[in-house]
Structure 1
């Protein structure tokens, strides 16, 4: 497998997902979302993987970055390349396919269970959450998971190729989550940061196992050769 990973230059950590993909023999090619090339210039690829970001897909200052990545996603899907996304990647994909996103009233944090209609492609978790945004999926999407904050997983094949996205962070390791907590990605919410870190450490082993299984399920759904 040759997989192109779209991420911020300052945070390219795919955590448990990258670990599993490498175990499966994947070649991971990094693409900087702030300087994203045209899809036609990246060469052969089996999958586009959109990681999270501290950006907001709805924020005007990131308009050009969001539009470029959205066009990249649409071109990939129209050319037969599947796409999967996490957190900001899910918000970006929703927007690229006709949905939207906006700033939430409060951030969604900590390890939370997800209500699911498909425990294979969207296991209930609990999963790590760290975002301050909510998305509305495109009208063509099928929502597989929700929380009381909003959609948590959707799939779409409206452009002829399958895609899947998760709002939660199935990939995140305890070490990365702790770094995010210290960096305050979610803003000043008055949350107990020690409790967030405790949850991340407590759920580390289970999250890794769930994430590895989810990678396999997603690759099968997306019909990515292994």
Structure 2
């Protein structure tokens, strides 16, 4: 699955078909990636070659990163991520993905006091202003999570929000993780409202208000998402190019 065999490979670890790549997929395919999606609840993740893909993308899900007894495939994902971290092999995580990466790096993942839900803004830190996350400065993005994580050692904090301080972090040019949801496109947004919209009033939102904001801010969020992932991929491109041919 390496770039030496042809197109670079992006292995996508998906936990729920309703929580897919969305805005991120056209960027990956536009950069020439062979995108291979694995549904981890139905897969023996322990049999995946952690270092073969050029990039691993870990998506969101309703699972908790600390609930590995109930969801043993999460423990296998952490082991896969541990191998990639040791090799400094590119990893990009979203929401649950960011939490799993944090757990891999030895940080605590825990239930927050209150879910963070809605179209909300994140604020880049000084480090974030010089990172791919800067594209979300002033751009609302979808949040829909109740878990959080301590900031792992050896990473840079890139963004915070009023409710959850650790919204994005990176290590070098090869690891980037975000708590918010840059992948949410119109279809994913509609699916989430259908599946989980009943809980919105408890957080000061309604389906109607979410749809209004999606109509006005969705295109900006999609552009920011493309810029964020594109800049990250630009950063790891020299790493791929310098990989030895197998």
Deviation at 1:66, TM superposition (A): 2.3
1:113 deviation in Å? Answer: 1.5
On the 8 A contact 2:132/2:227 being kept in 1, the answer is no
Q: Which ranges in structure 2 are unaligned for 5 or more consecutive residues?
A: 1-7, 242-246
Cross-structure match for 1:107: 115
- Mapping for residues 13-162 of structure 1, pairs under 5 Å: 13-34=20-41, 35-38=43-46, 41=49, 44-59=52-67, 61-62=69-70, 64-117=72-125, 118-119=128-129, 120-123=131-134, 124=137, 125-150=139-164, 151-156=166-171, 162=174
Q: Name the CA shift for 1:37/1:63 in 2 (closer, same or farther; >3 Å).
A: closer
Aligned counterparts of 1:86 and 1:66: Cα–Cα separation in 2: 14
- Greater shift, 59-68 or 135-144, is seen at 59-68
Deviation digits for residues 90-146 of structure 1, max 9, x if unmatched?
011101111122222221122211111223321223211111111212122211111
User: Greater CA deviation, 38-47 or 85-94?
Assistant: 38-47
Give the number of aligned pairs. Answer: 223
**8 Å CA contact 1:130, 1:186 repeated in 2:** no
Q: Deviation string for 1:1-34 (max 9, x for gaps)? A: 2110000253362011111111222100112222
> Contact 1:85 / 1:166 at 8 angstroms: preserved in 2?
yes
Distance 1:79 1:140 in 2: 15
TM (normalized to structure 2)? 0.81
Which structure is higher in helix share? 2
In the TM superposition, residue 187 of structure 1 has moved relative to its aligned partner by 4.8
Unmatched 5+ residue regions in structure 1?
none
Distance change in 2, residues 1:40/1:210 (3 Å): same
Shift of 1:181: 2.0
Q: Which moved more, 1:191-200 or 1:35-44?
A: 35-44
Alpha-carbon distance in 2 for matches of 1:129, 1:51: 14
Name the SS for the 2:189 alignment partner.
helix
